[in-house]
Amino acid sequence: MTDDDARFQLAADAARRIVRQCRTHVDASTLRYAGRLAAASASTPYGIEAAAAAQGQHKLALQWKVAHAEATSNAMLSHLLGLDILLQQGTFYPLPAMPIARSIAEVAASTSWALAANVEPDERAARGYAGLFRSLEKSISGSLTSDAERHRVLREGIVQDLAKSGVRVVRHTKKESPPTRCPRSSWDGRTRRPGFSIRSG
């Protein structure tokens, strides 16, 4: 074995170990997900939002974020499993491994943006609504005509319900391709996403 082969083998072994550790961590976190939510204290971001949702405030935003975190955790676990399988092969395949690694990073970035604990409750609610509307827009654009119409009706109903509770939804008519990454956002009471601006509070 040459020095280059030895260095490559060392790097491959380290990569396998890191991926296995990540898989174990995500798997354990997913299994304890419901329990941690139930045990969250009132002073945590989730506790604050759960208490507000119990009073009818921003319940849809919280529901979307909880579902998003669960779905993306499962997606990340699947991506890590795929990467682990590739790394276990006798021949290292760099090309298919890169899209999987990128998918893991995108899932992590999306969830981190949606659930950021260092922003005000109203901003977190706005991000939840923004994610919800983006999901609806993707469903509308990628569905059959009948399903798309059903999603449009659902979207309009949500807009009306939010207006009654003091949440302003501003539509954007400019046609542009949606961004591939979540935007950076500083707290100014407004979160921008393709198609809508959400003002909460």
Please tell me the predicted confidence (pLDDT) of residue 190: 43
Q: In this structure, are residues 130 and 158 in contact, taking their beta carbons and an 8 Å threshold?
A: no
Q: What is the DSSP letter of 178?
A: P
How far is residue 191's CA from residue 199's CA, in Å, rounded to a whole number? 7
> Is the Cβ–Cβ distance between 103 and 39 less than 8 Å?
no
Pick the closest to residue 155 from 173, 145, 140 (CA basis): 140
* pLDDT value for 173: 57
Please compute, for residue 16, the number of CA atoms within 13 A of its CA located in the half-sphere on the CB side. 13
pLDDT recorded at residue 188: 36
Q: Which residues contact 124 (CB under 8 A, 6 or more apart)?
A: 45, 49, 61, 65, 115, 116
Amino acid at 102: R
Residue 97: its pLDDT value, please? 66
Please work out, in degrees rounded to the nearest 5, the angle formed at the alpha carbon of residue 156 by the alpha carbons of 135 and 172.
70
Q: What pLDDT digit, counting tens, does each position of 43-70 carry?
A: 888 888 888 888 888 888 888 888 888 8
pLDDT at 164: 82
Number of H helices, E strands in the chain: 7, 3
Contacting residues for 61 by C-beta, under 8 A, at least 6 apart: 49, 124, 125, 126, 127, 128, 129, 132, 200
Asked if residues 86 and 97 have their Cβ atoms less than 8 Å apart, the reply is yes
pLDDT at 34: 76
pLDDT in tens, the chain (201 residues): 687 778 877 877 888 888 888 888 888 877 777 777 878 888 888 888 888 888 888 888 888 888 888 888 888 888 888 888 877 876 666 656 677 777 778 877 888 888 888 888 888 888 888 888 888 888 888 877 888 888 889 888 888 888 887 777 777 655 544 443 444 333 233 444 444 555 555
pLDDT at 178: 45
pLDDT at residue 119, rounded to an integer: 84
What pTM, to 2 d.p., does this model score? Answer: 0.62
